[in-house]
Amino acid sequence: MDYDTATKQIRALAHGETDTVALMATLACEIHHAHPLADWTGFYRVTAPETLKIGPYQGGHGCLVIPFSRGVCGAAARTGQIQNVPDVDAFPGHIACSSSTRSELVIPVWNGAGKLLGVLDLDSNTPAAFTKADEDWLVPLLAEIFERAE
């Protein structure tokens, strides 16, 4: 995975943009095509209290609504913590939006004012597909790109 090239491309495409959905669409596309093991890449947006709804994504269909109380995405939104799950079948309460998903990385996304905008969700058909290096790349990149998002 070439993190530097992907970062430069994302920064160039997102430069000056503050619209949350436009930024999410751009990042979903770029991350999906950059990560060799990502089979589904997208965002779930906070649309109501304790509620995530599907946002821009790449890949097959996803779940439309996820409560904070359920699944890997809900856990990331509820706790504000990264969820890197090497085996989704071992995650209590996992929501199988796709039966082929074996591992998942979900990262909370905040704007610069500390508002939770949603979560970035990467799914893979490969067990243990996502690494600490993926987290270390995405966390600061998301903070930078969504700093001025509304």
Under 8 Å between Cβ of 72 and 85: yes
Choose the CATH number for 3-145 among 3.30.1330.10, 3.40.50.2000, 3.40.109.10, 3.30.450.40.
Answer: 3.30.450.40
Is the Cβ–Cβ distance between 102 and 125 less than 8 Å? yes
Cβ-based neighbours of 82, under 8 Å, separated by 6 or more: 76, 105, 106, 107, 108, 135, 139
Dist. CA 146–CA 132, nearest whole Å: 21
Tokens linked to 145: 């790109």
pTM for the structure as a whole: 0.96
Label residue 89 exposed, middle or buried (CB < 10 Å: 0-12, 13-18, 19+): exposed
Mean pLDDT in order along the chain per 10 residues (150 residues): 96 96 98 97 97 97 94 96 95 79 96 96 97 98 95
Compute the distance between CA of residue 4 and CA of residue 71 in angstroms, rounded to an integer.
31
pLDDT digits (tens, 9 = 90+) for 93-123: 777 777 889 999 999 999 999 999 999 999 9
